[in-house]
Chain A
Amino acid sequence: MSDARMPGSAVCSAQVDLSAISDNAAVLAARVWPRLLAADLAADGYGHGAVESALAALRGGAATLAVSELDDARALRDAGITVDIVARRGLPSTGVPLAGQDHEVYSAGAALYGLVEDAELRPAMRVSALVVGTKTIEAGEGVSYGYTYRATTRTNLALVGIGYADGLDRIASNIGTLLLGGRARTIAGRVAMNALVLDLGGDTVRVGDEAVVFGDESQGEPTAAAWAAAIGRSAAEVASVFGRHLPRVTS
């Protein structure tokens, strides 16, 4: 992304495509008709940004909005949103009919953000980070805390500026892969608080290259659902945690 080349810009970010939220809202609104679609904005819109997500969902055909508690509605009102807003905390987050409306209302959370396996829905969030260092190690040398990874042969490594404090689960250590240089690269050793290491084998990359945790499947990138499944989490949780910690770039 061009933003990543600006001085002082973040080495990791969550990029949110609001058109995906609008398009998903349109698909879901048609499916639940004649019930009305409520866009679930819990957890700051599952990490996508509550106000931006609300506006995008309303553009797509959502009729009402669901928030955790009515205090959360204030920012939406301040943004000029006048549709009905209901409090949803304590209700299941998938497909709940909400009472108290003139029409029956159906609430969509994970599906609205494209975080479920569904061919008609598109993921709205992409998470990536930049290579901040490279090195080559010899067979037998360890990587990161506790040396839980040891190279079996001479190999190239990329240090990427994203870690568990950014929302990348530490359980992904030695398991998860990121897309870098056109291929899935396995995390070598423990994910640290703000960085991880990828094993490149014989390939090389450069400082500043982008490693993708998940993003747009049509561009050959792994999906949030695939990332989440690989580490035994739900995609809704993964997106919520990343979105609340990473700098967000909205388009």
Chain B
Amino acid sequence: MTGAEVTVDLAAYRRNLDRIRTRVAPAGLMAIVKADAYGHGLLPIARVAVEAGVGWIGSLDIATGLRLREAGIHDDVAIFAWLLGPVEDYAAAIGAGIDLGVSTADQLDQLATAGAAGRARVHLKIDTGLHRNGADAAEWPSLVRRALELEDRVELVGVWTHIAEASDAEDSEAIEQFHAAIAMAQGLGAAFSVRHLAASAASFARADARFDLVRVGAFSYGISPGGGVTAASLGLEPVLTLAAPVIAVNDGLATVATGFGDGIPGSAAGAMELAIGGERYLIVSVDVDSLEVAVGAAPVGTGDIAVLVGPGTRGEPTLQEWGDALGTIGEEIVTRLSPRIPRRYVGV
């Protein structure tokens, strides 16, 4: 090892998927693999999900969905993309059988005129308070009507929303609005085979949030929801370990071969520790391709392996500790890691 290396435990990922499916049944699971599978590596993660029998994969965007299809994930597995740009290659998406999360009538019209041979598989999004995308209550009937008018080009597959997880009461209100939107759409003649609302936290916490399908990313990678709830208490295991070698030791400072260019937050200086030989040491500075750790007189030498984050089995901090110490969440720590760090897959 000459620089940083990420180890991804695919067996742990598989066990997390099993744990989630048990928890949310009879609802189905959509495994979310956006952002290069939260920095874990898109294709190895997606293949494990498919082998595990997960029937839905959430890709975020069309380009990622097409990559998954090209990698041999066939249309017995549904792929859902919902971040749609102003101009998309909808003909390719429809041809590849990618399900599309649609918020506006304009997007429906783009789909309908894309020149694809088949019908577009569409999930209509209602905004229940998060206020990112999704039709608001006033726009919803016209969005549903437009989808029905375009039924020779558009196949209505799903209805969905996203909740804010600000409070249980507000989430309950969002769930109520979701039910109302579904009822209104059905009144207009729409039928949906899948209804989905919950992501990781709500999928575990609330049966009334699960509907037919839950969209889970963070928990599948063993990333805890924060707020004092650990991944372990939910039966989930961290999947990713980040390590780098010690390349010099001088005057009580060990230099480790990773830095902010690999995605280690500069704000870790003075705020986070890492583990060498099972012992914790404070990170004192972070440069572009190296960082320094205060080791004092401890027996740390060149070639020793520093473990920055992982399940904690070698004394290293967990993602939760990183998130808590830096005022963020584990998702940011893993997605910030450079895609150029070599990923090693174990537990295949």
Contact = CB atoms under 8 A, between A and B. Distances in A.
Q: Are A and B a genuine interacting pair, yes or no?
A: yes
Interface of A: 4-11, 40, 42-44, 46-47, 68-69, 71, 88-90, 92-93, 109, 130-133, 135, 137, 141-147, 157, 159, 161, 164-165, 167, 169-171, 189, 192-195, 197, 207-208, 232-234, 236-237, 240-241, 244-245
27 contacts: A9-B85, A9-B87, A10-B63, A11-B86, A43-B259, A43-B289, A46-B288, A69-B257, A90-B247, A92-B287, A132-B83, A133-B103, A141-B131, A142-B129, A142-B131, A143-B130, A146-B164, A147-B129, A165-B35, A165-B39, A169-B332, A170-B328, A189-B131, A194-B34, A208-B86, A233-B266, A241-B336
Contacts of A109: 288
Nearest to A5: B87
A240 B288 contact: yes
A232 B267 contact: yes
Contacts of B92: 8
Contacts of A237: 260, 265-266
A141 B137 CA distance: 14
B212 interface: no
Contacts of B248: 90
Contacts of A42: 259, 261, 288-289
B262 A234 contact: no
B131 A195 contact: no
B185 to A, nearest CB: 19
A71 B4 CA distance: 13
B266 A144 contact: no
A167 B132 CA distance: 19
A135 B136 contact: yes
B224 interface: no
Nearest to B35: A165
A141 B336 CA distance: 30
* Pairs A-B, 10 closest by C-beta atoms: A43-B261, A208-B86, A165-B35, A165-B335, A147-B166, A8-B89, A7-B89, A68-B289, A237-B260, A11-B85
Nearest to B292: A90
Given A141-B129, A144-B130, A193-B34, A130 B86 contact: yes
Contacts of B90: 7
Given A68-B3, A164-B336, A170-B332, A195 B132 contact: yes
B260 A240 contact: yes
A208 B127 CA distance: 20
A241 B260 contact: yes
